[in-house]
Amino acid sequence: MDKIVLQNLQFYGYHGLLPEENKLGQRFNVDVELYVSLQKAGQSDNMHDSIHYGQAYEKIKAVVEGEAKNLIESVAEGIAETLLHSFSMLTACRVKVIKPDPPIPGHYHSVAVEIYRER
């Protein structure tokens, strides 16, 4: 299956269970795979036959920088729903929401959730 990949999109949001997360906010990184047939676009060289990744970026940004959620699972679900609703040629998407600096003790690179949704 063909796909468009957006990696390491960086945003600032206010998601989390702890009051300081909602008040101070934190960084969020997002990786998205948009599953769509790219054959027609490759042959026509016409943007109308693909998904404009700049528009996809803006849709993702609106979710991550929008209304605060308790869980990054809800953020991921909101991104997937928005993308599937916004782009009719999109058959499925994989969304990974990463918290690089969650307020938990220990040594780690990040925490993340990843979901796959299709029509």
| Residues 39-72: tens digit of each pLDDT | 999 999 999 999 999 999 999 999 999 999 999 9
The pTM for the full model equals 0.95
Decide if 97 contacts 75 (C-beta within 8 A).
yes
Which position among 3, 23, 96, 99 bears the catalytic label? 99
Helix, strand and coil percent figures for the chain, each rounded to 5: 35, 30, 35
Q: How far apart are CA 62 and CA 103, in angstroms?
A: 24
- State yes or no: is 96 an active-site residue: no
Show the tokens assigned to 26.
Answer: 């934190």
Buried b (16+ CB within 10 A) or exposed e, 85-107: eebeebbbbbbbbbbeebeeeee
- In order of their start, the domains of the chain are 3-118 (3.30.1130.10)
pLDDT tens digits, residue range 4-53? 999 999 999 999 999 999 999 999 999 999 999 999 999 999 999 999 99
